[in-house]
Amino acid sequence: MNEWIDRNMGRVFLAPAVTLILVFSIFPLVASLLLSFTRVRLSGGGFKIRFVGWKNFEKQFFGSEQFHLIGTFTEISVLGWIVGLAFTAVLLGWIIKYIRSHFTWVGFIGRMITFAMALGLCWLFSATLLSGNPFGTVGVTLFYVFVGCGIQFLIGTSLAFACSQRIMGKNAFRVIFFVPMMITPIGVGYIFRMMADTTKGPFADVWQWVGLGEFAWATNPWAARIFIVVADSWQWIPFVFIMMLAAFESVPRDLTEAAELDCAGPWQKFREIIWPHVLPIAATVMLIRAIEAFKIVDLPNIMTSGGPGIATESVSLQAYYAWRSLDLGAASAIAYILLFVTVVTCASFFNLVIHSRIRKQR
Amino acid sequence: MLKINVVRNLIKVSALIVAGGVVFPPLTASADGHYDGVVVNILTRPGPVIAGRIVDRAEEFKEMTGAEIRVAEAPFAELFQKILTDWATGTNSIDVGVFASGWGIELVGGDLVENLDPYLAKDDKIDLDDIAPYFRDFNQKVSGSTYFITLDGDFQMLYYRTDVLAANGLEPPRTWEEYLDVASKIHGQDMNGDGEADYGSCIFKKRNAQSYFAIQSVAASRVQSMGTSEGIYFHHESMKPKINNEAWDKSFELYKATGEYGPPDELNQDIGDTRGLVVGGRCGLAIDWGDIGPLSIEEGSMIKDKIGAVIMPGSTEVLDPETGELVACDANTCPHAIDGINYAPFAAFGGWTAAINKGSGDKAKQAAYDFLSYMNQAAQSNVDVTMGWTGYNPYRNSQLNDTAAWVDAGFSQEAAENYLGAIKESLNHPNMASDFRIPGAQQYTGVVLDRELARYLAGEITVEQALENIEEAWEEITDDFGREEQAELYRLSLGITN
């Protein structure tokens, strides 16, 4: 008995945690996957579930919801063709190069998934944005992810680097920069909606003074998207800041001092010592931010309700609206599409971009 | 001296309290106490609007009967889903749902709502005859049986600034073309004396808010002319959408055109935003539910005794359902027209109504019914509807025929008569357009119509594309719920029983 306990003690201790994860994480994941292949109706006595196969997915990609998820397609412009073909060639070259160099089946399958999604997104970009057609929630979400996270990383890292230097009052800056992250996203949404109101908001006089009194940001698709990115950045720059500050402060002083003794300039010191040291943390920060950004829902919901039209609606918001109207099957299908895009994008980013650079440096 | 006065006053106050206690014994839970220990859980939208008054009345009801009425709140967008899930899964943590009347059909279809006929038969205080026919016979009933208790009467009306129109020698618009004409003439004038240019028209246009009600108000007079039972959404027999036609096409264009005389960010304004502008004196014309009347007399209002109300603008041409084209109004095409104009006031939202969960305990159901009846009775509701903050609008004849309560609330006699006159004209109109009252109502209008309208207003798509998309999506929803079942429920919702 004692021997059995000794042998299985690890498993016994892990069992409660594993059970909790199974119940609260894995079960909902499996249940929502099943729901995505069904139509669900609530009625007396419980649920009426009807299996509909791939219909919920088909509707999103090829049916009446195509415009909503991936965009409206008419003719592809000349620019769209050029960019699409060029990017396709680059992707093909990348795959061929991989096959010729160090081929493994696992690596090949992973790269083929990345290839397929990158190709799809590339042609989506060419057929919508570059061809003057409205893009759907996938395009909007990618805009929030790439532009938003890019801005947040640049500003957050710059501020962190500045605060890691010997400057006056840097402790105060640390606290001030961190405050926005403590506010709930709904609060941030309302704050920014109010501040941006050019006719009756608290800054209406300021807007009028700079000549924007009649400008309605929420009625212009790009202005609305940009404003949401601004609000999102205001909230999340502190996260990047605090993580990167810890990274910068963990760079060993003896290395930087040795570089200074060797007459290395500030840029050289940053490029050769500091950046390689913080790169793994920077990659992790970006990965966490990207995953969060893919799920953005509060800000567009509060600030614009996804409008004007569907110009600011993210995939998560689309799923939420479907769920709200009790279309549980469609909501689950949309959520799974988002999950696929998020996992492939983030895994590809980490494995193909960051991991390979870290390997190279080592 | 001061101390002596204070002591004297304290003695006086104490004496009054003691005397009061003897002469007027406090109303306690045991006033009759037959519901002592009974708990009724109500779920509705966040207060103070709607929920706030339920809480107040719940305290009174507890003092009278001993029943504890607990009011929980859920965001408007999630309210129906929470109620449906709770009742369908048998969780039954909610005894009463207070929601839009149109949503209830789906609950009745799922056999989740208590039939109130037996309760009404024993209730001699509710006075059903005093409830306006539309709410009594359409809103509260399904297939001839009463399932809901009306707490609020909702439909939209046109509001106009009496002073601004008079100063410009203009009459209140009777058609939507006249609406645009009046709006264009007063747009840019200073209407509240703050030195800033104000707006000719204020109509909420935000997505995922109330714009899909507004477009139906604009379209109703073009789509429906043969009376309430004609309906504005589908052909009765085939259940084919009556949406991709000239009437809706024109209505979309008119609705968009009103934005030219509105605030610059009207596309992102919901009802709360436009109400703020109207009460702040910044709008010459506006459409809204009945709330503007009571709000106009509240503290801080810039429009007290300066706001008039009339029935929603009508149309001189109406839809020929066979061809999908607009035809001129005449005695055959518009039997209810006045001066050649077809009116169809839209019962947008239908009002906040209460339904009792069939799965609740018998005692809780009876207590719930008694409480809802108490709220609905004229003695209570006639006071509640005069207060803007409650969110309740008139639905009883006694609320509309007697101006005394409204004058007591702060209306001038003229304003009260004007406001109640507009409501009566709308409410008693034989061509009143009924809101969606079939399963999936939220998907048909709240999701599909709302989204395509928003895309059209934002310039993403043309009106033709918007209507085609709506038609296609409505067909999908109908097929999904079952065409035959939907057709039958649609006919029932319009009072067609054969």
In this prediction, residue B461 carries a pLDDT of 93
Contact B89 A46 (CB under 8 A): yes
Per the CB < 8 Å rule, is A197 touching B265? yes
Q: What is the CATH number of the domain that holds A158?
A: 1.10.3720.10
Strands B157-161 and B141-142, sheet pairing: unpaired
Contact yes or no for B443 and A327 at CB 8 A: yes
| DSSP conformational letter for A42 | E
Per-residue pLDDT of B153-205, as tens digits, reads 888 999 999 999 999 999 999 999 999 999 999 999 999 999 989 999 999 99
Give the residue with greater pLDDT, B101 vs B415.
B415
Instruction: Say if residue A226 is in the same domain as residue A264.
Output: yes
Instruction: From chain A, pick out residues whose CB is under 8 angstroms from the CB of B263.
Output: 199, 216
Chain A hits for B266, CB-CB cut-off 8 Å, are: 216, 219
Chain B's closest residue to A328, CA to CA, is B81
Does residue A118 sit in the same domain as residue A167? Answer: no
Q: Which domain holds residue A100?
A: 73-133
Give the model's pLDDT for residue B495: 77
Q: Using CB atoms, which residue from A44, A197, A325 is nearest to B111?
A: A44
Per-residue pLDDT reduced to its tens digit, B22-42: 444 333 334 567 899 999 999
* B17 has pLDDT over 60: no
Do A265 and A299 have their domain in common? Answer: yes
Q: How far is CA A11 from the centre of its chain?
A: 35
- A107-125 burial, b at 16+ Cβ within 10 Å, e below that, comes to eeebbeebbebbeebbbbb
* pLDDT > 70 fraction of chain B, expressed in percent and rounded: 93
Distance from CA of B91 to the nearest CA of A (A): 10
Confidence band (pLDDT; 50, 70, 90) for A172?
confident
CA distance B255 to B456: 11
Report CB contact under 8 Å: B268, A218: yes
Cβ atoms of A219 and B269 closer than 8 Å: no
- Of A39, A42, A200, nearest to B85 by CB-CB distance is A42
- Pair (A147, A92) in one structural domain: no
Whether residues A217 and A321 fall in one domain: yes
CB contact under 8 A, A43 and B469: no
In angstroms, how far is CA B9 from the centroid of its own chain?
50
Q: Which residues of A touch B208 (CB under 8 A)?
A: 301, 305-307, 321
**Tell me, what amino acid is at B166?**
A
Show residues of chain B in contact with A39, CB under 8 Å.
480
Neighbours of B129 (CB within 10 A): 9
Assess whether A345 and A303 both reside in one domain.
yes
Give B110's contacts in chain A (Cβ within 8 Å): 42-44
Q: Does B77 touch chain A (CB under 8 A)?
A: yes
Give B100-151 pLDDT, tens digit per residue: 887 888 888 888 999 999 999 999 999 999 998 888 988 898 888 999 999 9
3-state DSSP assignment of residue B33: coil
Residues A120 and A149 in one domain: no
Tell me if A320 is assigned to some domain: yes
Q: Is B17 helix (H, G, I), strand (E, B) or coil?
A: helix
Q: Edge-to-edge strands of the sheet including B68-73?
A: B68-73, B39-44, B96-100, B352-356, B148-150
| Of the candidates B203, B397, B419, the residue with the CA atom closest to the CA atom of residue B290 | B419
Cα-Cα-Cα-Cα dihedral sign, residues B35, B39, B40, B44: positive
Q: Is residue A4 part of a domain?
A: yes
Report the percent of chain A where pLDDT is more than 90.
54
Please write the tens of the pLDDT for every residue from A295-308.
999 999 999 999 89
A40 exposure class (CB count in 10 Å sphere: 0-12, 13-18, 19+): middle
What pTM was computed for the model?
A: 0.85
Interchain proximity A309–B112, CB inside 8 Å: no
DSSP state of B261: G
Do A217 and A346 lie in a common domain?
A: yes
Contact A219 B451 (CB under 8 A): no
Sign of the dihedral defined by the CA atoms of residues B235, B240, B246, B247, in that order: positive
Give the model's confidence band at A167: pLDDT under 50 very low, under 70 low, under 90 confident, else very high: confident
Residue in A140, A207, A326 to test binding to B, most B beta-carbons within 10 Å? A326
**Is position A42 within any domain?**
no
The pLDDT value recorded for residue B75 is: 84
Looking at the DSSP bridge assignments, the partners of residue B346 are B433
Mean pLDDT of B348-360: 93
Chain B contacts of A67, Cβ < 8 Å? 469
Strand partners, B356: B96
| Judgement on whether residues A125 and A156 belong to the same structural domain of the protein | no
Residue A78 has pLDDT above 60, yes or no: yes
Q: Which residues of A137-168 are buried (b: 16+ CB within 10 A; e: fewer)?
A: bbbbbbbbbebbbebbbebbbebbbebbeeee
pLDDT at B393 exceeding the cut of 70: yes
Q: Are B90 and A46 in contact (CB under 8 A)?
A: yes
Cβ neighbours of residue A50 under 8 Å, at least 6 residues apart?
A: A38, A39, A40, A41
Report the residue from B81, B111, B263 with minimal CB separation from A326. B81
Give the residue from chain B lying closest to A67, CA to CA: B469
Give contacts of B78 with chain A, Cβ < 8 Å: 324
User: A250 and A287 in one domain?
Assistant: yes
Q: How many domains does chain A have?
A: 3
- Residue A361 is predicted with a pLDDT of 63
| Interatomic CA distance for residues A356 and A296, integer angstroms | 29
A77 and A128 in a common domain: yes
Closest Cα in chain A to B205: A308
**B451 contacts A311? CB cut-off 8 A:** no
State yes or no: pLDDT of B259 exceeds 50: yes
Whether residues A319 and A261 fall in one domain: yes
Query: Residues of A with CB below 8 A from B109's CB?
Result: 43
Which of A104, A133, A162 lies at the terminal end of a domain, its last residue?
Answer: A133
Listed residues A133, A155, A178: the one ending a domain? A133
Q: How many CB pairs under 8 A join A and B?
A: 118
Position A22 in a domain: yes
Mind listing the pLDDT tens digit for each residue in A154-164?
999 999 999 88
CA–CA min distance B486, chain A (Å): 14
So what's the pLDDT on residue B441? Answer: 85
Say whether residue A44 is in contact with chain B using an 8 A CB cutoff: yes
Specify the DSSP element, H or E, that contains B327: strand B325-328
pLDDT exceeds 90 at position B363: yes
Dist CA B190 CA B364 (whole Å): 55
For residue A61, pLDDT over 90 is answered with: yes
**Partners of residue A216 in chain B, C-beta under 8 Å:** 263-268
Which of A134, A215, A216 lies closest to B460 in CB terms? Answer: A134
Name the amino acid, one letter, at B108. V
Q: Is residue A210 part of a domain?
A: yes
Shortest distance, CA A321 to any CA of chain B (angstroms)? 8
Residue A173 lies in a domain: yes
Is A43 within the bounds of a domain? no
Distance from CA of A218 to the nearest CA of B (A): 6
B209: Cβ contacts below 8 Å, ≥ 6 apart: A305, B270, B271
Cβ of residue B111 closer than 8 Å to a chain A Cβ:
yes
| Beta strands A38-43 and A46-51, pairing class | antiparallel
Hey, are the CB atoms on A47 and B88 less than 8 Å from each other?
yes
pLDDT at A233 over 50: yes
Cβ neighbours around A262 below 10 Å, total? 9
Task: Encode pLDDT of A285-337 as tens digits.
Answer: 999 999 999 999 999 999 999 989 999 999 999 999 998 888 899 999 999 99
Structure-token pair, residue B119: 């309760």
- Tell me if B295 sits within 8 A of B275, measured CB to CB: yes
pLDDT digits (tens, 9 = 90+) for A1-54: 778 888 888 888 899 998 988 888 888 899 999 999 999 887 766 778 899 999
Percent of chain B clearing pLDDT 90 (strictly above): 69
Does the beta-carbon distance from A200 to B276 stay under 8 Å?
Answer: yes
Residue B261 pLDDT grade (very low, low, confident, very high; cuts 50, 70, 90): very high
Report DSSP state, residue B134.
Answer: I
Residue A53 lies in a domain: no
- Strands (E) in B127-196, as ranges, are 141-142, 145-146, 148-150, 157-161
| Candidate from A198, A221, A307 with C-beta closest to B206 | A307
